[in-house]
Amino acid sequence: MKLTPVGIDIAKNVMQMHYVDEGTGEVVNKPIKRAQFLEYFANRAPCLIGMEACGGAHHWVRQLTKMGHQVKLMPAEFVKAFNIRNKNDAADARAIWMAVQQPGKPVAVKTEMQQAMLALHRMREQLVAFRTMQVNGLRGLLTEYGEVMSKGWAKRDQEIPAALGRIAGCLPSALIDTLREQWNGLARLDEQVVEIERRMRDWKKEGKVAKAICQIPGVGGPRAQADRFGRQGGPAWNQ
């Protein structure tokens, strides 16, 4: 059975839809509110629905597939070639409608569990990036007062508290207290990173497929325990 192709440009609140009515030949390009989106397709015959692989797309693909629709997730670069107008929601929906009818390798749809693991990875990366920014900012501020820190995290772990003690007598307490809060905050960030890694390791132990994949060289957790702390232990500020 030939499925009616439909192009959907998804967004946070309004989805733009483009298709051609097979009965009347009418070109339909209209917006649908988010709250009414699934209800609209629940009452339609199975369609070939095209979407760009972007934020929220995997969720909508899973929901529409449950309703019996065939959904094709496509890379944004592939869809871009079919947009011959100025970029707007209506033009994007039309480009997606054209792209879904062309041969091309679709983007694999992630399961909820796969996206959950990816979310943990992203949150860890954000914490590590923020931690690195914080420690570099702290080093820069101390340099303004003649306190130059070593590059190695193990030495800095000892040097920064000592430096704060030396400059405490000549600088306002408001600044010293804030710098100490920043330093203590780095330890809390490290604890958060470690806890996320622990949860990821525990999660992977539950699945046979995950355990098998982790045996492949170069594949596994974000960073092994020895790599993160070293022999003597302590926070890995340089990660």
Asked, for residue 24, whether it belongs to a domain, the answer is yes
By CB atoms closer than 10 A (0-12, 13-18, 19+), residue 212 is exposed
Considering the domain architecture, whether residues 63 and 92 belong to the same structural domain is answered as yes
Considering the domain architecture, whether residues 156 and 87 belong to the same structural domain is answered as no
* Domains in the chain, number: 2
Asked, for residue 91, whether it belongs to a domain, the answer is yes
Considering the domain architecture, whether residues 70 and 132 belong to the same structural domain is answered as no
Asked, for residue 236, whether it belongs to a domain, the answer is no
Considering the domain architecture, whether residues 70 and 173 belong to the same structural domain is answered as no
What pLDDT, on a 0 to 100 scale, did the predictor assign at position 228?
38
- Domain carrying residue 46: 4-100
Asked, for residue 185, whether it belongs to a domain, the answer is yes
Structure tokens, 40: 């609209």
Domain boundary among 41, 71, 100: 100
Considering the domain architecture, whether residues 72 and 150 belong to the same structural domain is answered as no
Mean pLDDT, the chain, whole residue set: 84
Q: Tell me the C-alpha distance between 153 and 155, whole Å.
A: 5
pLDDT tens, position by position, 187-235: 889 899 999 999 888 887 776 666 666 666 665 655 543 343 333 334 4
Considering the domain architecture, whether residues 131 and 187 belong to the same structural domain is answered as yes
- 164: confidence class by pLDDT, cuts 50, 70, 90: confident
Structure tokens, 56: 């929220």
